[in-house]
Structure 1
Amino acid sequence: MTLEAAAEGVRLNLQFVDYTLLFIYFATVLAIGLIARRSVKTSMDFFLSGRSMPAWITGLAFVSANLGATEILGMAANGAEIGMSTMHYYLIGAIPAMVFLGLVMMPFYYGSKVRSVPEFMLRRFGRPAHLVNSLAFAVSNVLIAGINLYAMAIILEAMLGWSQWVAIVVSAAFVLAYITLGGLSSAIYNEVLQFFVIIAGLVPLTIVGIHQVGGWNGLKESLAKTEGVSNLHLNAWQGTGIGDVSNPIGANWLAIVLGLGFVLSFGYWTTNFTEVQRAFSAKNMSAARRTPLIGAFPKILIPSVVVLPGLIAAATIGNLFADGSLTYNEAIPKLIQMYLPSGVLGVAVTGLMASFMAGMAANVSSFNTVFTYDIWQEYVKPNKSDAYYLSTGRWITVIGVVIGVFTALLAAQFGNIMTYMQTLFSFFNAPLFAVFILGLLWKRMTPAAGLWGYIAGIVAPTILWIAYMNNPSLFDTATAETLYGAILSFVTVIVVSVVVSLITRPKPESELQGLVYGIGTIDITGDAVAGDEAWYRSPALLGTLALALCVVFYLMII
């Protein structure tokens, strides 16, 4: 495609065969929702699939739930904007935390039989901390749901020429249909289907794109000639020394390791119920622990079909990002328009739509669970029948999607939705992880400390972000601000929690059984079934292999 053609707006010219593929996919998704509806008899079926899912299903759903707008459009946008530094989001920003969740956190979550992450907060720190956490989770989830809706709208707008508002509403209606029908089971089965559809859509784009730029060497040469792209675009660690922020992220290695690799990563993967809910639906403790570990392996390979297309976009149409003709969020849709013929185009567009629906469905299914169980049942309408909460969950699903429509318009204001997402993580996930990890390790931490530490951990990064918005010179990049904001949040929680714990009364040990290390024991084998003891199902082995692969991939890109 010529540069003049590339400079045109994003408009995907789908043919009959492409629309046929889309129709088949959408029909399949709704059929899965209708089939799943038959198994929804109780609120536990609707919200947690009756805790009956096998590990390979929950493992694929775990990684697919993350393959939403932030992963496909956001990470591709990052690949175009900051290059190979995006690999940090995977190799230290995901895999170690997923392993930690499977090996360390899941025994506490699944063993306590809580129905949500905020419910664990309730048992450890009491009702005030639980209420604040539940409300914060509800707010963050509808904001993130809006990101996925906005991403779906970009594709519909490009395909059909619809206005952004109409595209958002239509996208929301479709997701609402299959989540309301089958609850979490519908979401999980569709996420497994969507995982394969997403990969089938992105692989051809990557192969054709790398061929068009002349292979890896051609990519490097093209990047060197592109306006606004530095020689650091193909190196993950160069320019990250202490005192040196010349790298595209704008932060040194310590901020990257602590802010992204520890606080943001562990905060997201271990306390974000949108992800953890998939493991909660597993049929037993062994399957629950293996869920994030199984998901870690495809997660390692995802950058090859997400980050690499972003680099290709920087090499081929980087000038359009530089002059404002395109936003970085449009990198993937623009490449699809430029390179893919009819038929393959339909597969790619279907893959994109699948990814956005997976992310949106994950947000909605976790939102309705937390709002129904942790807010409505706990504080508004307790002691009602199970049928009442099942009905409430379906109505809350509708409300959540409607709110998501409006938060999608907010997401549209950000040129790089990954930066927006990471800002939300620094506000909500970073302080929750700090509260949880301190509460798990220190029995002296009090309920009051859990409450005020968490609130302080939300306020601190919010103040820093407001300061950055008023004075952008405080940090080299918006991404750097989120890393330092996450570190500030974590430190604030620890300091405030320790101080408050020293002047308030802790819970007696009898109330901390199975909630704090060293107090009580957690049975991780009692519900095992035949085959769980097989060596290849060992969580320790799976976790070790995932971490080893991380090291290998880092050595390849240094």
Structure 2
Amino acid sequence: MNSLAEGLRLPTNGLDYTILAIYFVVVLGIGFAARSSIKTSLDFFLSGRSLPAWVTGLAFVSANLGATEILGMAANGAQYGVYTVHWYWIGAIPAMVFLGLVMMPFYYGSKVRSVPEFLLHRFGRSSHLLSSIIFAVSAVLIAGVNLYAMALVLEALLGWQQWVAIVVAGLFVLAYITVGGLSSAIYNEVLQFFVILAALIPLTIVGLKRVGGWSGITHSLSDSHGSAFLTAWKGTGIGSVNPLGANWLTIVLGLGFVMSFGYWTTNFAEVQRALSAKNLSAAKRTPLIAAFPKIFIPLVVVVPGLIALVMEPQLGKVKNLPYNDAIPVLMRDLLPNGVLGIAVTGLLAAFMAGMAANVSSFNTVFTYDIWSAYVKKDRPDSYYLNTGRVVTAVGVLIGMGTAFIAGSFSNIMNYLQTLFSFFNVPLFVVFIIGMFWKRTTAAAGFWGLLSGTVAAMLNYFWLYKGGVISIPSDQGANFVSSIVAFVVGAVVMVIVSYATKPRPVEKLQGLVYGTRSPGMDELPAEGDGAWYRRPALLGWGAVVLAALCYIPFSL
């Protein structure tokens, strides 16, 4: 679909192009600078496990700050209103804290190189291979979303056809990941984090001024969409009707627990950043540091979506102005040249961060967990380093193809959440039960993962899309699919576990809660033991702060 119509063409000039060109040069420069540090495959895929917590923490949040956040959450803000904050304060922060405090000691302490490799140690080869394939498929599908969003901006900026923009943008991302590996991606993500904020903060401030501040938004949208549109919980009682098409139970269980924990605790594109940290303490603090900026991202993503809806009441109601265009609409109408160049650069930075995160996770999982484990075993390390570079190119090419799938959705967040319910939730079921129940068997891991994935797909395509059950929105259907995947996967795991023989407890050290591996006893490095760096303080501080943020939107 051609979502950015001619009327949305951004009025760019030479100054905007200059800012964009400088950014591209810096990004490539970081890639070539990182190349000198790559000596082994571990350097290429996990930065040699050498990065400090503040770097991995900012990269963690930046890797997620791609199309999901910028176009997707702004689209959600325009379509669902303030209900969108649930994706942050209940749908991200608790799970990020759980990852840092509970799961990272197992991931990092066991010295695995990827999330599927943890399943290899816990459940064996069948679960490992199935999870590796699922990770690889989901990574390139999500990379395609970011690439598609990047193509939208290039289409607006240069007037290129989308397929041309997709190819050019994909090749650019390919260049700096192939050259500099994960280190290049991570250091660029730190840069991109600040560039993204430099783009979104002025857009939000100018937009608020144009519509008369928050009171102007409240007056306009309350009249057109009802007062509940600007609250977080009003209208979410069971049986009530709201734009989100979900009630408080499906929000808490479907989004806040199943989908959220499924994404943040098993998504290797995020976990990979923590695994690249220099020690266990830094690995645990990575998602906890990321949680604090994550709390405030709605101010520069969801609020612009509301502003766009005030300025363009036809947003989402006409074919050539879908919800995905909320941010480009504001850029076109509000920003002068120069600032517009920064905004465009910030959007491209976001999309490159999201795509790079998924491509780097794809090349790691494919090389370590599929190629070296089942196809070409026991080759020299240099062979796998070169394989990783080739696989990076393959991942980008596949991402170019999957980008066109994303183009068929008016709201790309709906598409992403559908993918998460299919792939991440069933993985979370296997992880959480396997990590906390010693009786869980290898066969249970495989069948739980397979049945959960199939159940989510059947619920979405057959029951929801087939019209067997009525759910008010795609997002509501995704919440239900997530709950179905979790329940079916968990029930199957319990049944199969009691029908098959478990592994001896001594072979589960460091893989199940209550057991420990030598890596989990690692002492904090000098300075890491300071009170303000304690993981528990950071984690619970983030949870309390996120809960307090609900107060102004719950009245």
Do 1:43 and 1:386's aligned partners in 2 also have CA atoms closer than 8 Å?
yes
Which residue does the alignment assign to 1:448?
443
* Letter in structure 2 aligned against 1:62: F
Residues 1:238 and 2:253 are matched in the alignment: no
Aligned to 1:324: 319
Q: Equivalent residues in 2 for 1:87-106 (5 A)?
A: 87-106=85-104
Provide the TM-score with structure 1 as the length reference.
Answer: 0.97
The correspondence of residues 299-310 of structure 1 with structure 2, limited to 5 A, is: 299-310=294-305
Find 2:306's aligned residue among 298, 303, 311: 311
In the alignment, which residue of structure 2 is the partner of 1:272? 267
The gaps in structure 2 that reach 5 residues or longer are: none
Equivalent residue, structure 1, for 2:467: 471
Amino acid at match of 2:457: T
2:394 pairs with 1:399: yes
Alignment match, 1:168: 166
1:257 to 226, 248, 252: 252
In structure 2, the partner of 1:16 is: 14
> Once the two structures are superposed, what CA deviation does each residue of 1:134-154 show, in whole Å capped at 9, x if it has no partner?
001100110000000000000
Q: Report if the CA contact (8 A) 1:157-1:163 is conserved.
A: yes
**Which runs of structure 2 are paired with 1:400-549 in the superposition (5 Å)?**
400-467=395-462, 468-471=464-467, 474-520=470-516, 524=520, 526-549=522-545
Q: How far 1:13 moved relative to its partner?
A: 1.5
Distance 1:507 1:123 in 2: 11
Secondary structure of 1:12's match? coil
Is 1:248 the equivalent of 2:223?
no
Aligned to 2:291: 296
Partner of 2:190: 192
TM-score (norm 2): 0.98
Contact 1:107 1:522 in 2 (8 A): no
Q: Which position in structure 1 is the counterpart of 2:331?
A: 336
Give the distance between the partners of 1:359 and 1:326, measured in 2 at CA. 24
Matches within 5 A, 1:26-45: 26-45=24-43
Question: Matches of 1:275 and 1:519 in 2, distance apart?
Answer: 25
Deviation of 1:321 (Å): 2.2
Confirm whether residue 108 of structure 1 aligns to residue 67 of structure 2: no
Aligned residue for 2:8, secondary structure, equals coil
Matched, 1:117 2:87: no
Q: Which moved more, 1:8-17 or 1:56-65?
A: 8-17
Q: Provide, for residues 393-435 of structure 1, a one-character-per-residue CA deviation record: whole Å limited to 9, x for no partner.
A: 0000000000000000111001100010000000000011011
1:95·1:547 contact (CA, 8 Å) conserved in 2? yes
Instruction: Report what 1:355 is aligned to.
Output: 350
Q: Greater shift after overlay, 100-109 or 324-333?
A: 324-333
Q: CA deviation at 1:322?
A: 1.6
**Cα 1:406/1:442, change in 2 over 3 Å:** same
Conserved 8 A contact 2:315-2:326: no
Match of 1:156 among 137, 148, 154: 154
C-alpha distance in structure 2 between counterparts of 1:295 and 1:374, whole Å: 27
Deviation at 1:474, TM superposition (A): 1.6
Paired position in structure 1 for 2:366? 371
Unaligned 5+ runs, structure 1: 1-5
Q: Considering only aligned residues, what root-mean-square deviation do their CA atoms show, in Å?
A: 1.3
Equivalent residue number for residue 553 of structure 1: 549
Shift in Å, 1:315: 1.2
Residue 111 of structure 1 aligns with an amino acid whose one-letter code is G
Identify which range, 11-20 or 198-207, moves more after superposition.
11-20
CA contact (8 A) 2:222 2:230 kept: no
1:121 counterpart letter in structure 2: L
Question: What letter matches 2:370 in structure 1?
Answer: I
Q: Deviations over 1:4-50 (max 9, x none)?
A: xx996211121111111101100000000000001011000000000
The Cα shift of 1:522 comes to 5.8
Q: Residues of 1 paired with 2:48 and 2:449: CA distance?
A: 31
8 Å CA contact 1:285, 1:525 repeated in 2: no
Deviation at 1:525, TM superposition (A): 5.2
**Contact 2:510/2:520, CA 8 A, preserved across alignment:** no
Q: 1:3 is matched with which residue?
A: none
1:388 aligns with 2:379: no
